[in-house]
Structure 1
Amino acid sequence: MGSETAQAEPNIGIMGAGAIGLYVGGMLAHGGAKVVFAARGRTLASIKRGLSLSRYDGFKATLKPEQYESGGADSLGGCDVVLFCTKSGDTEAAALELSRSLKPGATIISLQNGVGNVELLKRLLANHEVVAGTVPFNVVRLSPNAVHCAMEGTVLVGPSSASTSLTDLAKASGLKIQIHHDLDALQWGKLLLNLNNGLNVISGKPLLRQFQDRGYRLVLAMAMEELLATLDAAGISIVGASRTSPRLIPKVLRLPTWLFRVVARQQLRMDDTARSSSWDDLKAGREPEIRFLNGAVCSLAETHGRTAPVNALICRLVDEAFAAKTSPEMPGGELLALARTAAAER
């Protein structure tokens, strides 16, 4: 019976060995799952020496290279389930590369930011099942082969037999994975949270310190309200990707700082290393993902005859930061003044 169980366990591939891919794949490998990382360059060379995992609650693990496999995209050819963890801007190129080696019957689960990746993957990998998923917590890249989960949360995936297998595998690892039956609405809930990614670039501060600045919280609330109003105009449903209802989050952000601290402490566990993935992109010299985040709000608003001036402002400031290769470290009060001016001119 033991050998039959082992044979039934799927091989898990990780396409995109960034912070999320390394953490999710690393935790699964830590629990004994058969995991293959598709990586390149410095990351590939580093994870061939091992992989270090840590978490906000004190958990630490060091994986030996014998506990997983790694290589290029062609190394995923024998995988039954591939967790697609690339940046949104890399989706098309990565999917086409993967298509050359993906075996028949393999399932793709997208764990990417943004709201259009699943549809794109379904078009590019039409002969494979593609399932939506989301990771509503923060993972920091400490080095090419060390990642730190700085915030509590659960990986959420859409229903499929592959998803069921994945949740079963996760039980032995300490990684929380749950099946969610309304991923379309949930991805908008994740996007709502991701509207802070660009603000983290603009502030240049760890998330905990940024959230102590009421100016930044007020700008985030304005950006979120633009998304919520646009979704209402488009008739699109949204489901929360955190413990707080999506429509309550802007209200919580507007609270006085002392009261916000009390509420936030009850709702979310986060350590002082937490930063957004967009900050990691800036530091690593990668392309900004902002057009798939705040830019998606602007695009949806335009489609429905609306504007999203605060999100447009955030896009512009983030693009400027990436062009300069550094954060402007803008004070919250200064950013709030710019946002109010932009909103007044809509």
Structure 2
Amino acid sequence: MTGPAVKSATRPVPIIGIMGAGAIGLYVGGMLAQGGAQVVFAARGRTLEALGRGLAVSRYDGFKAELKPEHYRTGSAHALASCDIVLFCTKSGDTESAARELAGTLGPGATVISLQNGVGNLDILKSLLPDHEIVAGTVPFNVVRLSPNAVHCSMEGPVLVGACGASAVLAELARGSGLKLQVRDDLEAVQWGKLLLNLNNGLNVISGLPLRRQFADPGYRTVLAMAMDELLAALDAAGITAVGATRTNPRLIPKILRLPTWLFRVVARQQLKIDDTARSSSWDDLQAGREPETRFLNGAVCALAQAHGRTAPVNALVCRLVDEAFAVKASPEMPGDKLLALAQNEAG
């Protein structure tokens, strides 16, 4: 384990642990660390080795920071034992194994805040870490991993966390770091709203395109709108409310996606700032040879629909095509009009 002491000699300083040193974990932890927060990254392999040389964080608006290793600590999950707040940033498929690593390691009173994609992670964390406060959170913007120790935030938006004592502490630290963070008391509804946006993750794998170019394709936008319609119908059947993770009402997003491309660009320019480097986290998973998260995203829509007597054929199609892409370790780079034809056929 490397880095400075984590407690002040004169007063206690909140210690922030990052469980899952991927793009999101490195960006959020890096931003907090460059603002002066005490941050500990649980990392392994080449990420752990690379963090020993420093960490670079940058943002779509030109912000850049180069952190030297003395600005944070690194180690295994056991390095988080003294943390007051742990930001849980692993892939959804790793939630159970990572939570088991933390069990018995965290000190009493530590709060765990999930900043993961999909729904259902909180239930897993609560069952495996019953002695700790588990709080929902979400990251509705895109972060690109440029190298093992360099990340770039390519889209605007705040980190959203549920209301609790630890969240207030985190918000105070964020204010001093330049990290945008909002405390919300409707995080369950926000998570469903975030899932609506994450339905594009698998489509980004299928297209093989940067997000900006993908959204310029009316075929891909229409398929995404169809997938969103299935989620909204399933939420209605389940009596679940979804709140927008962005400034746009979730029920307006499918309508916006179906606008003519020239008009979509006008509306999107007002609602969403995104640069040319943006890709989905699922695309990053494909490049890194990790397991796809699709079953926690589009797969969650299929499960919710089935539980309430509905179907979600477009989301099922996306799951199937993403699984095929991961099986061959390459994007099919399917044209948008071809995917749209497949989706329309599946939807009947």
Q: TM-score range by the shorter chain?
A: over 0.9
Structure 1: how far apart are the matches of 2:78 and 2:8? 27
What is the aligned-residue RMSD (CA, Å)?
1.1
2:326 maps to amino acid:
F
Counterpart Cα distance in 1 of 2:142 and 2:337: 26
Give the aligned residue type for 2:106: L
Task: Name the residue aligned to 1:83.
Answer: 87
Can you give the 5+ residue segments of structure 2 that lack an aligned partner in the other structure?
1-6
Matches within 5 A, 1:6-25: 7-25=11-29
**1:137 CA drift (Å):** 0.1
In the alignment, structure 1 residue 39 sits paired with structure 2 residue 43: yes
Deviation for aligned residue 1:9: 3.0
* Alpha-carbon shift at residue 6 of structure 1 (Å): 7.1
TM-score, structure 1 length as denominator? 0.98
Task: Look up the SS of the partner of 2:338 in the other structure.
Answer: helix
Match of 1:65 in 2: 69
Task: Name structure 1 gaps, 5 residues minimum.
Answer: none
1:49 is aligned, of 50, 53, 72, to 53
Q: Deviations over 1:64-116 (max 9, x none)?
A: 00000000000000000000000001001100101131001000000000110
Alignment of 1:292 onto 2:301: no
User: The residue matched to 2:189 in structure 1 has which SS?
Assistant: helix
Deviating beyond 3 angstroms after TM superposition, the runs of 4 or more aligned structure 1 residues are 3-6
* One-letter code aligned to 1:115: V
Deviations 1:189-212 (A, max 9, x none): 000000000000000000000000
Whole-angstrom distance in 2 between the partners of 1:342 and 1:261 = 28
One-letter amino acid matched to 2:33: A
Distance in 1 between the 2:46 and 2:29 partners? 18
Q: Is the 8 A contact 1:198 1:315 kept in 2?
A: yes
Q: CA-to-partner distance for each residue in 1:289-335, whole Å, 9 max, x for gaps?
A: 00000000001111111100000000000000000100000000000
Corresponding residue number in structure 1 for 2:236:
232
Q: What residue number does 1:250 align with?
A: 254
Would the aligned equivalents of 1:9 and 1:165 in 2 still touch at CA under 8 Å? no
Q: Are residue 141 (structure 1) and residue 137 (structure 2) matched?
A: no
1:165 partnered with 2:202: no
Q: In structure 1, what is the Cα distance between the partners aligned to 2:18 and 2:11?
A: 20
Matching residue within 93, 107, 113 for 1:109: 113
Match of residue 282 from structure 1 = 286
Instruction: Supply the distance in 1 between the matched residues of 2:156 and 2:295 (Cα, whole angstroms).
Output: 26
Could you tell me which of 196, 207, 217 is aligned with 1:192? 196
Equivalent of residue 160 in structure 2, options 156, 163, 174? 156
Question: 1:8-55: CA deviations, max 9, x gaps?
Answer: 431000000000000000000000000000000011000111000110
The total of aligned residue pairs comes to 342
Matched, 1:263 2:245: no
Indicate the percent of aligned positions where both proteins have the same amino acid: 75
Q: Note the C-alpha offset of 1:7.
A: 2.6
Aligned counterparts of 1:23 and 1:160: Cα–Cα separation in 2: 22
Other-structure match for 1:241: 245
Separation (CA, whole Å) in 1 of partners of 2:294 and 2:52: 31
Q: Report whether the alignment pairs 1:310 with 2:314.
A: yes
- Are 2:227 and 1:223 equivalent residues in the alignment? yes
Of residues 24, 29, 34 in structure 1, which corresponds to 2:33?
A: 29
